Structures are given as C-alpha cells and as structure tokens.
Amino acid sequence: MEISEVRVKLVTNPDERLKAFCSMTLDNEFVVRDIKVIEGTGGFFVAMPSRKMSDHCTTCGGKNHLRAKFCNHCGGKLPENRVRQDNQGRMKLHADIAHPINPQCRKKIQEAIVAAFNEEVEKSKQPDYKPVDMDVDDYNVD
C-alpha cells in the first residue's frame, strides 16, 4: 500500500486538542476522509474516521445515541448501562469506519499524516498561505 497523497486542513482554534482534519489517498485509487490529528500528552496522534454508535428503543424501535437518556421518538426512558465498555473499562461510544489492521500499517499512516500536518503548519506561517479546501472533489475520478 502506498500513501499517494495527504491533504491537511488545519483547525483554527489553537486551544483545542483537535489540530487538523485530513484526507489520505491510497495507491492513487482510494480516499479516506475525516482523519483527525489530535494533540495528546505524548505528542500528535491520528484518529481514524468514526461514527457515533447507537441502539434502538425497546418500546418503539426508534434509533438513539448511546448517551441519550430518553428515546428521541417516543420519549420513553431508555435503560441505563446499555453502553459496552472497551478493554480499559471506558464507554465505547464510537466505532471506526476505516482503520489499519496491524501496528505496522498504523505507524506508516500516522507518520505520513503527522509529517503532512507539520508541513502544513509551516506553510501556514507564510503571508500568502491559502488553506486547503477539503470540500472540493478534485480527485481523479473516472
């Protein structure tokens, strides 16, 4: 797998831990969007795109986020303790949409994205800097 391109959109609020959103092109054929660069206690790390997990109301079957206390559809009280926990005992509220399946791949992706992030930070210090427009679809699509 070759990481052909990484695009970085810096986040404007410097006080937040979230520093950038990225997209990554693999083998000039496949794009993964909404990758986040986050500043942790040990430096920058990459968070893969994820979605909020949900479940269904036992009364009406309506879909609700796991933190909801009442059903968005019928208003009924939802059971507590319906959230699964991860290996460290934390609530699992999000599920990855795309992610590496081994540590070597994770390292390769993280190094490429953090390097691109650092380059974008340096570019942003120039007076003629123009941020990347992540909403433009100018990937080569046949």
Give the ranges where the chain is alpha helix by DSSP (H).
103-124
Q: Dump pLDDT digits (tens) for 130-141.
A: 888 776 666 554
Check: pTM over 0.85? Answer yes or no: no
Q: Dump pLDDT digits (tens) for 69-123.
A: 999 999 999 988 777 777 887 777 888 888 899 999 999 999 999 999 999 999 9
Q: Dump pLDDT digits (tens) for 8-67.
A: 999 988 678 999 999 999 999 999 999 999 999 999 999 999 888 888 888 999 999 888
Q: Dump pLDDT digits (tens) for 23-35.
A: 999 999 999 999 9
Gap between the Cα atoms of 124 and 10, Å rounded: 9
Gap between the Cα atoms of 94 and 90, Å rounded: 11
Confirm or reject CATH 3.50.50.60 for domain 1-49+97-142, answering yes or no.
no
Tell me where in the chain the CATH 3.30.1120.40 domain(s) lie: 1-49+97-142
Residues ≥6 apart with Cβ < 8 Å to 35: 21, 22, 23, 24, 46, 47, 48, 49, 113
